[in-house]
A = this chain, B = another copy of it.
Amino acid sequence: MTRPFDLLVRNARTLFTADGPGGGPAEQLLSPIPRGAVGIQDAHVAWIGAEGDVPRESVAASTRIVDAGDGLVTPGFVDSHTHLVWAGDRSGEFALRCAGADYLSIARAGGGIASTVRAVREASDETLISLALPRLQRLLAQGVTTAEVKSGYGLDAETELRMLRVIDLLGSRQPIRLLRTFLWPHAMPPGSTDREAFLARGQKVLREVARAGLARFADAFVEEGAFGQDELRPFLDEARALGLGLKLHVDQLRAGQGAEYAASLGALSADHLESVGPEGIAALARGRVTAVLIPTATLVLRLLRYAPGRALIDAGVGVAVATNCNPGSAPTENLALAMSLSCLQNGLTPAEVLLGVTRRGGEALGDASLGRLRVGGPADLVVLGAPHLDHLVAHVATSHVQTVVRAGRIVLRSDANARC
């Protein structure tokens, strides 16, 4: 006899699986099911379809029901780019920036990443964890069930490894699935100028990271004023050889053929891309590299242009949308704001935005089971108190998340139909 569902999500106006056949427009990839329902067993999706077709024998007295209240049901959101473990306080930089200071001048004045590095090195593991937990709670309230989290505020072997272990601990202390990225070439460590030695040390640490399974991805800040493509190549080549997926910060502040570089390395994702040009876009498309848009950082850094999301999608590039949650250029967990901005400023449609925080987010993390709802996949989903997708982006910077289910468990419930 069939085992009953542990959980059944019903009364959805529309269920988006984001698991439609590839190659089509966003609406097709989202694969909407009117009045769709999801049955869950053992933390996985056991059944998916129209509510009228739910197998009777799968619903028993023991089946817990989540009523979607005639709203939307989507895969749990995937925030594919964050730096959410940090200590210290850089909110003063925000005011400086508003008064005209730019990113690199703040960094040269001892602010920026270096100031966070000093604070993280001094912070205990428990301090880092207690500071990160409320950030994760806010991300969860935005519907995030999977987040990528980068190291990169240690910039020495001890602190970088410690950050990766802290992220692992955080994964067990709250519901969001955390995937770790080793970001050694984030900035030169404070007081250090020997770039070659720093990157060589990074390769040593990289081997330890790979050996101990401390990260799934490696990342680098590829930018004039940060790190150059040639000097990074040994580190990134070795990361790839060790089986880590590559995710790269490219073409953010200035056009620098970073997209082409990411494609040449077979990177999973190229992130930022405010200054990418047509050749870079074509390279990403050819290389099947996911573009990760981070419009909150474009806003906060007051950059003159947003990444060309429309052109990227029109060229066939998969486009994800992420918060970049970090202490400097994107101090916010408000994914709903990133979603609104990606429509307003990157030219995405509401359907493309939903795809960007679900399936495309999973692809940016090299895992096609994330950000989709399909039988056998993880039962990570959100119920949204909205009648259609336009609401999610038009109600600016406002979360419509009512219920979050992660691995089949209800991990967040809200009475309000929307919160800001």
Contact = CB atoms under 8 A, between A and B. Distances in A.
Number of copies: 2
- From A331, A350, A394, residue with most partner B Cβ within 10 Å: A394
Interface in A41-92: 89-92
A420 B420 contact: yes
A338 to B, nearest CB: 10
Choose among A95, A387, A391 the residue with the greatest number of B CB atoms under 10 Å from its CB. Answer: A95
A331 B396 contact: yes
Given A95-B393, A98-B349, A394-B95, A399 B416 contact: no
B349 A99 contact: yes
Nearest to A98: B343
Nearest to A349: B95
Centre residue among A337, A398, A420 by max chain B CB count within 10 A: A420
Contacts of A395: 91, 331-332
Contact of A134 (B337, B388, B418): B418
A417 interface: yes
Interface string A301-325: 0100000000000000000000000
Interface stretch (A21-29, A136-144, A198-206, A233-241): A136-144
A396 B344 contact: no
Contacts of A300: 344, 396
A100 B66 CA distance: 39
A332 B392 CA distance: 11
A94 interface: yes
Contacts of A418: 134, 138
Contact of A350 (B95, B296, B332, B417): B95
A189 to B, nearest CB: 25
A95 B349 CA distance: 6
Contacts of A188: none
A397 interface: yes
Given A134-B417, A142-B420, 13 more contacts: A89-B391, A91-B391, A91-B393, A92-B394, A93-B394, A95-B393, A97-B344, A99-B349, A299-B344, A331-B394, A331-B395, A332-B397, A332-B398
